[in-house]
Every structure is written in C-alpha cells, then in structure tokens.
Amino acid sequence: MEIVNNANHILLTLAFDYGTKYLGMAIGRTPYTINCLPTLKQPISNNELKAVIQKLQPDIIIIGYPLNMDGSRQPLTDQVDEFINRLRKISDLTVEYADERLSTYEARKLLEPDERDWKKLNALSAKVILKQWLMDKEA
C-alpha cells in the first residue's frame, strides 16, 4: 500500500539526513523507487532550502530524527529540531520526523568496503531513512 492523498495520488516524499557538515537528501514515492539526490554542504540558508523544495515539488518532507539507542536525545537532536522548525516556516508542506537509529550503519553497508565519501554516505542515509519510513507506513 502506497502513501496516497485524497485524490489517490501516490505522494512524492523528500527525506533529509541532517548532519553538521552535509545534508543528505533522497526522494521517492515507494520503498522501491527512492533516488539519492546531491548532498548539500552545511550550513544551508533558508533561501537555498526553499529553492530545493520548489525545484523538487515534494508532497511531504521527512527528516531523520537522531536518538540514542535507548530513545534518549543526543546533542544533534536539538539542531534537528531547529531544522524542522526552519522547514515548517519556509514551507506549507507536512514535515514529519523518522527514527534514524542505525541509518548510518545501514548506509555504510551500501558503500564499497574502503569508501569513505561522507557526501555519498549522507545521501544513502537519507535513502535508508525514507525507505524505512515508507515501509512503516505500508505496514
């Protein structure tokens, strides 16, 4: 079952993996149609964010929410909260968060064994986050 709106349109979902150096992005409609997008260098301005959203025209935005394995907050959680607030101020789209625990671990498994490309890793993490969020919605 896909995520659909009232017009039975499968929603285009944009996912972000927030990092202090890079902002990973992925976009897709189903867990099987997700594409990684170019990673953006942090800090990113509101105008740049708005331009990305206008260009991609998603129906909903998802952001990976960093928590420790026990569910407690970590230092990056506050920065992600601020980023979510920024997104909600510059866009009328629904912005939801998704549990991103182990997303970097899963993304590393998708890289070549000796590859250490943080830009690619952030984009793959966004893909992992989006895939899990979409699969959870289908369940």
User: What confidence score (pLDDT) does residue 114 get?
Assistant: 66
List, as one string, the DSSP characters of 13-63: EEEEEE-SSEEEEEEESSTTS-EEEEEEESS--HHHHHHHHHHH--SEEEE
Sketch the domain layout of the chain as residue ranges.
Answer: 13-138
* 99-117 residue pLDDT tens: 887 777 677 777 676 667 7
Better-predicted residue by pLDDT, 32 or 114: 32
Q: Which residues, at least 6 apart from 88, have a Cβ–Cβ distance to it below 8 Å?
A: 95
CATH topology of domain 13-138: Nucleotidyltransferase; domain 5 (3.30.420)
Q: Is the pLDDT of residue 2 over 90?
A: no
